[in-house]
Amino acid sequence: MNGSTSALKNLLQWACMLKNKHISKIFYRLSYFSIWIYFSTSCVNPNQPYSVQNDTSSGNAPGWFIAIGGGKRTDTLLSHIIRYCDLRPGDTVWIAPMASEEPDSAYWYVAFDFERMGLIPKPYVFYTRPDYYPPDTARVKLVFFTGGDQNRLMQSLSLADVLDDLNKYRLSGGHIAGTSAGAAVMSEYMITGNQLKYPEYEATFSRLIADNVELMSGAGFLRSCIIDQHFIARSRYNRLISALFELPMLNGIGVEESSAIVTDDSVAVAIGSGQIVQIRAGTPKRREDLIGFGDLTMHIHLPGDTFYLK
């Protein structure tokens, strides 16, 4: 209990002791008024995300993983990212556009958004090991992976030492964010977007059948969940449920456009302008090609909601 809470408790107890005395009404009302002031000023501002604090007792706190559902990077979303990453005007953001077929354009679109928020964007591009250099917190506060094709991005991330270096960077206080494909790669298991039984691409799956969703190894930053993006806008429920049939031990996290989760892989907070869908699977069951579950729990988190992944 902090000092402010303890003082208010003592004030309330004192007022209760005075209930039968002449001045009891003054102190009794004062105590409740003080408590009302304390809690009303301590509540979460509905226009800002709920605050989740890292433990800084052992030195630098680890940074956050931020998985963005694609779409527009609204001022609301950007301001929340800046807040959680504790970014200040003039801080540097490295933008990695390797997922895109047009990396120059992908870089400039994201760079423009961060520039107008007072930050300094720099390109972070590597396709081969000689092109690669590791991030460090002395030079960059946030590494941001753009959208595109998650399979293309994983080719760069699979180069020697890259994932180890990114994990060390995050543990030393650096933050790692990704939008769309850049969010999909964060899971240990990655939804590629392809259907194994229906090769023609669909933005969502039109059926719930076994052995259809293609899963590949992701970056493994998040081991408690599997991420899908553009989730509500493209109605990707069938796709995520198909993945959970294969991996029922994981949380299915559907991130809507212009929205994100900020997480350490244990607790998460929803930020941005839309919802986060969390699906927990029960026992999977199958009859021929059809898939089912003994139970399936869905939570729809609003901006500012905090929830657990473990």
Distance between CA 99 and CA 103 in Å, rounded? 7
- Give the amino acid at 213: V
The percentage of the chain sitting over the pLDDT mark of 70, rounded to a whole number, equals: 81
Query: How far is it between the farthest Cα atoms of the chain?
Result: 83
Pairing of strands 290-293, 284-287: antiparallel
- Give the amino acid at 154: M
Q: What residues act catalytically?
A: 180, 230, 257
pLDDT for 19-58, tens place per residue? Answer: 444 444 444 344 433 433 333 333 334 344 445 555 444 4
Q: Which two tokens stand for residue 133?
A: 């250099």
DSSP 3-state of 246: helix
Per-residue pLDDT averaged across 200-220, rounded? 94
Buried b (16+ CB within 10 A) or exposed e, 248-260: bebbbbbbbbbbb
Distance between CA 153 and CA 59 in Å, rounded? 32
Confidence bin at 261 (pLDDT 50/70/90): very high
Distance between CA 244 and CA 236 in Å, rounded? 13
Distance between CA 20 and CA 12 in Å, rounded? 14
| pLDDT for residue 202 | 85
DSSP 3-state of 262: strand
The chain-wide mean pLDDT, for the chain, equals 86
Q: List, in order of start, the domains of the chain with CATH numbers.
A: 3-40 (no CATH), 65-308 (3.40.50.880)
Buried b (16+ CB within 10 A) or exposed e, 199-215: eeeeeebeebbbebbbb
- Closest residue by Cα to residue 254 from 277, 226, 235: 277
8 Å CB contact between 229 and 180: yes
pLDDT for 166-191, tens place per residue? Answer: 999 999 999 999 999 999 999 999 99
| pLDDT for residue 109 | 97
